Amino acid sequence: MMLRIEKAVYGGAGLAHQAEGEGTGRAVFVPFTLPGELVEASATESKAGIINAELVQVIEASSDRVKPKCAHFGECGGCHYQHANYKAQLEIKMEILRETLERAGLVKLPEVEVHAGEPWHYRNRIRLRVAKVDGVLRVGYLRRGSNDFLPIEMCPIAAPILWRAAEALLELAETSDAARWMEKITEVEFFTTQDESALQMTVFTQHRVAGFDAFCERLQELLPELVGAGASMLHAEGSRRAERPRVIASWGAEGLSYAVAGEKYWVSRGGFFQVNRFLVDDLVRMVTSGRQGALAWDLYAGVGLFSRALKTSFGEVVAVEAAADDLIKTFKGDGRRAVAATTVEFLRGAVVQRERPELVVMDPPRAGVGAEVCTLLGRVAAKEIVYVSCDPVTLARDLKALVDFGYQIKELHMVDMFPQTFHQETVVVLDCP
């Protein structure tokens, strides 16, 4: 098919419409294309009036097209926009955000403010597959659109120390005393601080192996920044039944102290933390700066990234998190309350008690907050809500519900926490007149 790409859509593809032949007018989605380009594409799947296609060649290229920085771009499933210059990436994401919100019925939106940082080497965490290829141990990701292993030789969106850690692990595999551990590892995760001064590692295996301490000490000789490591089993021994990873060994520190905006946060090994090491400070300031009052709620609080900053200007901060082990240990003292509960459970109780905070901050997972949380927040009628979202589709759904309950959208920020990919972070400020 010859196609003229009309626009980029959420998910990384370009949208065109079939201009001739059977099925004229059907929507066609082509990855690795840019708005305005004339391309040749080949259909790979057709269903419900939609065609998914693969790019064959670019006939008329956009002026925004650039050479990808990574040798694996296109094969690897991790990045989607390396073929576009960074300014174009930001414009694409901003337009997708605005269109997604408008499609949900949200009108009179404020101007989208764009916040960006360094577009390379930003990730503080990566998780790699480990497998033998032609008898040689390699690390890698999955091939795009499949579960096939893709061995890699670089990852330019990762902090340099993370790739250096992967190389050290492979170097260790060549020594006989570490071979028995390396032979059993199927995946490995590395997590580092903003300044790359400390590193945590988690290895995943399907079998128990002795000598984990000696293995980690050997790795630390090659990688002095390594301060702690753990081993988790992906499957039950003697069974093919998948289970949640189970910790079977630990060495060194159990986590990292991560500095953000003048505060230090303890992040346990494997715990969630914002992935962009260059923009976390800006994100915290965007959410918390200039806000004050008697009571603030931080829902889906995680390790308390926003809670700690809010305490400087609120009399009481309540941090709510279902998996609250780290939060309970670190967020305590006068005016600080950590609650181990889901957001729905907490809000149900708060509505009964008729509590009304000046500020509600919420940073939910990709699924968003959902209908019941929106309904409960409608009853709470907080003076201000700051909604941090990593998915514009679920954000649009939730914002429409909150607006219907009387909230008004006051500020709209697109924060590019995931350069080179279609993912984006959004910060929305709402008030309740």
Q: Does 84 fall in a domain?
A: no
Q: Do 292 and 215 reside in the same domain of the chain?
A: no
Q: Does 94 fall in a domain?
A: no
Rounded to two decimals, the pTM is 0.92
Q: Does 46 fall in a domain?
A: yes
Q: Do 251 and 359 reside in the same domain of the chain?
A: no
Q: Does 8 fall in a domain?
A: yes
Q: Do 146 and 243 reside in the same domain of the chain?
A: yes
Q: Do 425 and 285 reside in the same domain of the chain?
A: yes
CA dist., res. 324 & res. 314, Å (int):
21
Q: Does 87 fall in a domain?
A: no
pLDDT in tens, the chain (433 residues): 999 999 999 999 999 999 876 667 899 999 999 999 999 999 999 887 899 999 999 999 999 999 999 999 999 999 999 999 999 999 999 999 999 999 999 988 999 999 999 999 999 999 999 999 998 899 999 999 999 999 999 999 999 999 999 999 999 888 766 777 888 899 999 999 999 999 999 999 988 888 899 999 999 999 999 999 999 998 654 444 445 688 999 999 999 999 998 889 999 998 889 999 999 999 999 999 999 999 999 999 999 999 999 999 999 999 999 988 888 888 989 999 999 999 999 999 999 988 899 999 999 999 999 999 999 999 999 999 999 999 999 999 999 999 999 999 999 999 999 999 999 999 999 999 7
Q: Which of 226, 257, 288 is the last residue of a domain?
A: 257
Strand 255-260 with 263-268, pairing? antiparallel
- The per-residue pLDDT for 176 is 65
* Structural contact between residues 276 and 157, judged by C-beta atoms closer than 8 angstroms: no
Q: Do 207 and 305 reside in the same domain of the chain?
A: no
Q: Do 114 and 131 reside in the same domain of the chain?
A: no
**CATH number where 36 lies:** 2.40.50.140
Q: Does 77 fall in a domain?
A: no
Q: Do 315 and 424 reside in the same domain of the chain?
A: yes
- The per-residue pLDDT for 242 is 47
* Structural contact between residues 30 and 54, judged by C-beta atoms closer than 8 angstroms: yes
Q: Does 181 fall in a domain?
A: yes
* Domain boundaries, position 17: 2-65
Q: Do 236 and 190 reside in the same domain of the chain?
A: yes
Q: Do 108 and 131 reside in the same domain of the chain?
A: no
Residue 116: which residues within 8 A CB-CB, separation 6 or more? 86, 90, 279, 416, 419
Task: Give the pair of three-digit tokens for residue 93.
Answer: 């994401």
Q: Do 253 and 144 reside in the same domain of the chain?
A: yes
Q: Do 251 and 286 reside in the same domain of the chain?
A: no
Q: Which of 396, 430, 393, 432 is nearest to 9 (CA)?
A: 393
CA dist., res. 45 & res. 356, Å (int):
51
Q: Residue 89: helix, strand or coil by DSSP?
A: helix
Q: Which of 65, 86, 110 is the last residue of a domain?
A: 65
Q: Does 334 fall in a domain?
A: yes
CA dihedral (208, 212, 215, 221) in degrees, to 10, reads 150
Q: Do 7 and 45 reside in the same domain of the chain?
A: yes
Q: How many CB atoms lie within 10 A of CB 259?
A: 15
**CATH number where 391 lies:** 3.40.50.150
Q: How many domains does the chain have?
A: 3
- The per-residue pLDDT for 376 is 96
CA dist., res. 46 & res. 38, Å (int):
21
Q: Which of 350, 260, 337, 352 is nearest to 306 (CA)?
A: 260
Q: Which of 184, 183, 220 is nearest to 201 (CA)?
A: 220
Q: Which of 65, 88, 109 is the last residue of a domain?
A: 65
